[in-house]
Homo-oligomer: A and B are copies of this chain.
Amino acid sequence: MIKTRISKNISCISCSAKHLCLGKDLTSPSFSHLDQLIKNVKLVAKKDHIYHMNHPLTSLYAVHQGSCKEYWIDENGNECITNFYFPGDIIGIESVSKQKYMFYTTALEDMELCIIPINDFLESMHAFPEILKRFLAITNQKMQHDHSTRTGITANEKVSDFLLNIARRMHERNPGEKEICLTMSQVDIANFLGIAAETINRIFNTLKRKKIIKLKSKKFEVLNIAELQKLGRLDYTKIY
């Protein structure tokens, strides 16, 4: 198993997520600058923290490989999951202006994260309008995404929207692959959606019975996307 540590050498140019990440839409000088900004990779072992809530914000991270969950702890000690992140996602954005991390983030599997030093990055936005524009776009996209994960009202709607959200994001990252690995547990999904884990499990079973999804252990696949959208509540025209 890998240990959490810092490693060197990484390149945006050869990254498989560059069509989603910070570098998207950047032209030559901006892109090169960004590529040079990211010098180090942080390796994080499954279950380890990427950062802790209230710690000073030193960098944003771009997920290069793996997945993680973002959460806070309520007054009763419950883990309240706020987001899941996958390759190409930037984590820490909501924490920039307070200069401290607003949440905890832990790896759901062994991860590789590109370190984006925050001060260098803020300077880059001033120097390169394209980078500013891209950052605003990512921020906007995050606002829309975070909103879209909270549209469902009933448990059925929430679960349907959640599965479609995951399926869509995985499709962006690997269009050829229909089978998705759900790296988070059902308990994690329950905490994220604010419903009981048993309810999640029962809805999964119903969806399996209706042949709308396939799910075995962590292996997940949407079989009938139209039907799943009908069960959900999300306005898909707003996302694409």
Could you say which residues of chain B place their CB within 8 Å of the CB of A136? 96-97, 139
State in angstroms the CA–CA spacing of A24 and B82 once bound together. Answer: 29
Contact: A144 with B94, CB < 8 Å? yes
Could you say which residues of chain B place their CB within 8 Å of the CB of A142? 143
State in angstroms the CA–CA spacing of A102 and B239 once bound together. Answer: 10
From 130 to 189 in chain A, residues with beta carbon under 8 angstroms from any chain B beta carbon are 132-133, 136-137, 139-144, 146-147, 150-151, 153
* A235: min CB distance to chain B, Å: 6
State in angstroms the CA–CA spacing of A126 and B139 once bound together. Answer: 17
Interface size class of A (residues with CB under 8 A): 35 or more
Residues of A near any B CB (own CB < 8 A): 72, 74-75, 80, 82, 93-98, 102, 125-126, 129, 132-133, 136-137, 139-144, 146-147, 150-151, 153, 194-195, 233, 235, 238
Can you identify 25 A-B contacts, CB atoms within 8 angstroms? A72-B238, A80-B151, A82-B147, A93-B140, A93-B143, A94-B140, A94-B143, A94-B144, A94-B147, A97-B133, A97-B140, A97-B141, A98-B140, A102-B144, A102-B238, A126-B129, A126-B132, A132-B132, A136-B139, A139-B139, A142-B143, A143-B143, A143-B146, A146-B146, A150-B150
